[in-house]
């Protein structure tokens, strides 16, 4: 593999737009940061063909019971864990997207020195979650050269599993290994090398796009409403009631809440029961026959 020198990576370059940053006042500093952040959406748009390819690949995998493992070190790893952990409360998915950070969960709060430099650690982490050729490894690293991530992709390749990479530089080491490499060229950071800034924001945006689109394609969204929301707190119970109201056009919240309880707080089943005036068992069969897609069940 051709090694890429850190000094030649875009995210490590100095940003001329933030020269003399320490001499500026609060307003000036914030304006510099904001102007640089405004460049992120254009950078993502330029990478859209690869983002589309990655999303379609992920959708086909999860549709066939494959799992997606985000894997990274430092800020990249933390953002991956964040996106994966939000799948359960939002879409009812707890066994599809996973986040792995170099150094283990303790590294979410405290840096674990040297973890990102170990290829062997990545292999160990993937073996611990029984990673198989039916799964996909999705590595994240602004520099595109993190050994922990490269080790994970090499292991994936060795067992014939697919790998996707996300980085913020072109012609990276990731690109030499990954099946699909998404390069979001956000440019040098306001504070040189501080990739928790533009790079981190771009990472969060791209992962949100990919995971959300996958959930929509799986039928977790009806219109623009999250019909597989998990009612794990008072706010989410209210959201579930409002979703049922929106779709059924029924305004009686007591009736809706009662039916939700009868349907084990399942929004989709509640909507089918109310709109089609069927029993829970029949609603479940209708939903099963439509592969859990509410629009299909209602039609």
Average pLDDT, the chain: 94
- 226 phi and psi angles, rounded to 5 deg: -85, 90
With b for 16 or more beta-carbon neighbours within 10 A and e for fewer, the 161-172 pattern comes to: bbbbbbbbbeeb
Identify the band that residue 93 occupies on the pLDDT scale cut at 50, 70 and 90: confident
SS3 content of the chain, % helix, strand, coil (to 5): 55, 10, 35
Q: Which two tokens stand for residue 223?
A: 């219109």
Q: Is residue 145 pLDDT above 70, yes or no?
A: yes
Residue-wise pLDDT for 21-63, tens only, equals 999 999 999 999 999 999 999 999 999 999 999 999 999 999 9
CA angle 165, 199, 72 (to 5 degrees): 45
Question: What is the DSSP code string of 82-124?
Answer: HHHHTHHHHHS-SSSEEEEETT-GGGGTS--TTGGG-HHHHHH
pLDDT at site 114: 81
Nearest-angstrom CA–CA distance, 55 and 58: 5
pLDDT at site 9: 82
Q: Is residue 241 pLDDT above 80, yes or no?
A: yes
| Cβ contact 187:15 at 8 Å | yes
Nearest-angstrom CA–CA distance, 169 and 185: 6
pLDDT at site 43: 97
Find the mean pLDDT for residues 205-215.
Answer: 97
- 289 SS3 class: helix
User: Which of these, 196, 212, 68, 59, lies nearest to 141 by C-alpha position?
Assistant: 196
Nearest-angstrom CA–CA distance, 48 and 45: 5
Q: Which two tokens stand for residue 169?
A: 């530089």
The ranges assigned to domains in the chain are 6-217, 221-298
Q: Is residue 211 pLDDT above 70, yes or no?
A: yes
Question: Which residue in 12, 60, 86, 246 is the catalytic one?
Answer: 86
Residue-wise pLDDT for 62-82, tens only, equals 999 999 999 999 999 999 999
Nearest-angstrom CA–CA distance, 295 and 195: 41
Q: Is residue 245 pLDDT above 70, yes or no?
A: yes
Nearest-angstrom CA–CA distance, 136 and 142: 19
Instruction: Please state the pTM of the whole predicted model.
Output: 0.91
Q: Is residue 4 pLDDT above 80, yes or no?
A: no
Identify the band that residue 89 occupies on the pLDDT scale cut at 50, 70 and 90: confident
pLDDT at site 95: 84
Q: What contacts 15, CB < 8 A, 6 or more positions away?
A: 36, 187, 188, 189, 190, 192
| Cβ contact 90:82 at 8 Å | no
According to DSSP, the residues that pair with 68 across neighbouring strands are 97, 136
Residue-wise pLDDT for 169-179, tens only, equals 998 999 999 99
- CATH 3.40.50.150 correct for 221-298: no
- 40 SS3 class: helix
Identify the band that residue 271 occupies on the pLDDT scale cut at 50, 70 and 90: very high
Higher pLDDT, residue 7 or 93: 93
Reply yes or no on whether 116 is catalytic: yes
**Radius of gyration for the chain, computed over Cα atoms and rounded to the nearest angstrom:** 22
Nearest-angstrom CA–CA distance, 218 and 181: 24
Q: Is residue 3 pLDDT above 80, yes or no?
A: no
pLDDT at site 131: 97
Place domain 6-217 in its CATH homologous superfamily: Glucose-6-phosphate isomerase like protein; domain 1 (3.40.50.10490)
Reply yes or no on whether 12 is catalytic: no
Q: What contacts 214, CB < 8 A, 6 or more positions away?
A: 55, 58, 59, 62
Pairing of strands 221-222, 225-226: antiparallel
CA angle 46, 50, 51 (to 5 degrees): 85
Question: Which residue in 116, 173, 183, 189 is the catalytic one?
Answer: 116
Q: Which two tokens stand for residue 82?
A: 């964040």
| Helices and strands counted in the chain (H then E) | 13, 7
């Amino acid at each position: 593999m051709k090694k890429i020198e850190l000094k030649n990576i875009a995210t490590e370059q100095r940003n001329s737009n933030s020269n003399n940053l320490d001499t500026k006042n609060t307003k000036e500093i914030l304006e510099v940061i904001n102007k640089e952040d405004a460049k992120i959406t254009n950078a993502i748009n330029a990478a859209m063909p690869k983002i589309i390819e990655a999303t379609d690949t992920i959708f086909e995998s999860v549709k066939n019971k494959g799992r997606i493992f985000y894997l990274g070190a430092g800020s990249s790893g933390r953002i991956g864990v964040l996106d994966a952990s939000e799948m359960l409360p939002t879409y009812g998915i707890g066994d599809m997207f996973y986040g792995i950070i170099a150094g283990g969960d303790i590294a979410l709060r405290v840096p674990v020195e040297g973890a990102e430099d170990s290829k062997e650690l990545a292999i160990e982490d993937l073996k611990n979650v029984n990673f198989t050729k039916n799964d996909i490894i999705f590595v994240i690293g602004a520099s595109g050269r993190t050994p922990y991530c490269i080790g994970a992709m090499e292991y994936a390749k060795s067992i014939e599993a697919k790998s996707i990479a996300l980085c913020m530089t072109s012609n990276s080491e990731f690109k030499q290994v990954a099946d699909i490499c998404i390069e979001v060229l956000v440019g040098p950071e306001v504070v040189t090398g501080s990739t928790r800034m533009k790079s981190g924001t771009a990472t969060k945006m791209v992962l949100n796009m990919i995971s959300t689109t996958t959930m929509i394609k799986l039928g977790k969204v009806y219109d623009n409403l999250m019909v597989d929301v998990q009612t794990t707190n008072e706010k989410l119970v209210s959201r579930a009631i409002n979703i049922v109201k929106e779709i059924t056009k029924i305004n009686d919240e007591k009736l809706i809440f009662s039916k939700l309880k009868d349907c084990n707080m399942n929004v989709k089943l509640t909507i089918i029961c109310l709109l089609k005036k069927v029993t829970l068992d029949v609603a479940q069969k209708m939903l099963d026959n439509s592969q859990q897609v509410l629009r299909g069940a209602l039609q």
